């Protein structure tokens, strides 16, 4: 290397060294995946079933959340999942001893993915252990249980978030934006159809003691919740009708098919269907006096498809649980405010409406809905 080349090389090195402090936040602290090093929400998954498998796989692409703990009643699952997701044995718990997470600094939050009737007691135990709670929907099987969960998490000063993955789905959010910006005009009608033919008659979803109900609790809640964020109002009344074709499969307290209608303060109405006995029902339709929006499929794992009076929706698909867990990490770690709420109060509102729907089915009479007022 001649003098001129050496001088040029030294000058370049000096310039690069001068720039290092400026480049560091962008490059030097990036992780192997190219993400910036920043706080990660360390999550223990509770209930290692089919849906937890989907969550766990999706979380491998998260930027702000990672799996650091496991809770299950099946030792084999703890062993296999621990190996797959690199969770050390000290961070694996069963349903009897998971209160010990209180003393585990590797865990910030627990994602409860167990049968509906277990959410209440498990949420309260996690809150008492001082960890944040992410709970699958429906958050509980009654309003009373939901209230106790909200109160327990407030008392423990931990977050309670409900697994409303559609609140972070891009096409859903685009329709929400259009409605909020008055691009569809005054909303007058919403239709939500949620259904499939359920299989194994011995599964927990058809057990009243574990599910707290039937199709309405499992998939009808998507239409209940969707009606609220699509219309942009809270319903004030409901009428409903239950249809049951097999009392052997759908025993007392386990609904097969429910049609329900919601009324809103503006005069808008919703017509919805929840069923465990009809396939190909996964559609939302929103009508305003200047436009419409439609999603079909609307709540499946994706990709969601949609169109509006302005044309097709083209937002890219990302695994819903990846988006959900990254967003929830930002809510917990940085107090971010989501476009559509996912906190315990949001889940509690749905429970009020679910109970009103069941009462309307039982009595045959219209039920008035009085939702709790937000805390000030």
- CB of 272 closer than 8 Å to CB of 223: yes
DSSP string, 324-345: HHHHHHHHHHH----SS--BHH
- Active-site residue numbers? 137, 222
66 by DSSP, 3-state: which?
strand
Burial code of 25-64, b = ≥16 C-beta within 10 A, e = fewer? eeeeeeeeeeeeeeebbbbbbbbbeeebebbbebbeebbb
Measure Cα distances from 188 to 183, 252, 291 in Å.
14, 36, 11
C-alpha span between 15 and 61 (Å, rounded): 36
49 by DSSP, 3-state: which?
coil
Q: In this structure, are strands 292-295 and 306-308 parallel, antiparallel, or unpaired?
A: antiparallel
For 247, the token pair is 């009392």
> Any idea how long the chain is?
376
For 352, the token pair is 């009020």
C-alpha span between 65 and 375 (Å, rounded): 29
* 3-class DSSP string for 111-156: EECCCHHHHHHHHHHHHHCCCEEEECCCCCCCHHHHHHHHHHHHHH
DSSP string, 162-204: E--GGGG-HHHHHHHHHHHTTSS-SEEEEEEEEE-----TTSG
251 by DSSP, 3-state: which?
coil
Q: Helix, strand, coil proportions of the chain in percent (round to 5)?
A: 40, 20, 40
294 by DSSP, 3-state: which?
strand
């Amino acid at each position: 290397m001649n003098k001129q080349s050496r001088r040029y090389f030294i000058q370049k090195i000096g310039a690069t060294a001068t720039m290092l402090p400026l480049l560091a936040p962008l490059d030097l602290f990036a992780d192997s995946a190219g993400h910036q090093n920043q706080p990660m929400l360390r999550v223990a998954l509770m209930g290692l079933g089919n849906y937890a498998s989907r969550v766990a796989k999706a979380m491998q692409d998260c930027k702000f959340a990672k799996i650091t703990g496991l809770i299950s009643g099946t030792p084999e699952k703890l062993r296999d999942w621990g190996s797959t997701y690199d969770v050390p044995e000290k961070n694996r718990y069963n349903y009897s001893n998971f209160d010990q997470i209180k003393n585990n600094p590797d865990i910030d939050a627990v994602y409860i993915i167990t049968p509906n009737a277990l959410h209440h007691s498990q949420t309260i135990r996690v809150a008492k252990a001082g960890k944040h709670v992410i709970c699958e929907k429906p958050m509980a099987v009654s309003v009373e249980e939901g209230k106790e969960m909200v109160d327990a998490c407030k008392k423990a000063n931990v977050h309670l978030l409900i697994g409303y993955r559609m609140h972070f789905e891009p096409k859903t959010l685009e329709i929400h934006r259009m409605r909020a910006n008055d691009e569809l005009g005054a909303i007058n009608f919403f239709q939500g159809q949620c259904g499939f033919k359920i299989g194994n008659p011995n599964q927990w979803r058809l057990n009243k003691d574990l599910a707290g109900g039937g199709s309405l609790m499992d998939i009808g809640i998507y239409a209940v919740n969707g009606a609220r964020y699509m219309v942009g109002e809270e319903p004030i009344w409901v009428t409903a009708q239950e249809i049951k074709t097999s009392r052997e499969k759908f025993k007392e307290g386990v609904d097969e098919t429910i049609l329900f209608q919601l009324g809103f303060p503006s005069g808008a109405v919703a017509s919805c269907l929840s069923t465990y006995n009809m396939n190909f029902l996964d559609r939302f339709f929103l009508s305003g006096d200047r436009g419409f929006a439609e999603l079909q499929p609307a709540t499946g794992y994706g990709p969601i498809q949609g169109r509006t009076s302005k044309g097709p929706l083209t937002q890219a698909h990302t695994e819903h649980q990846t988006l959900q867990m990254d967003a929830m990490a930002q809510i917990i770690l940085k107090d971010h405010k989501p476009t559509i709420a996912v906190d315990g109060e949001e889940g509690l509102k749905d429970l009020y409406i679910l109970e009103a729907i069941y009462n309307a089915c039982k009595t045959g009479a219209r039920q008035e809905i009085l939702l709790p007022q937000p805390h000030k």
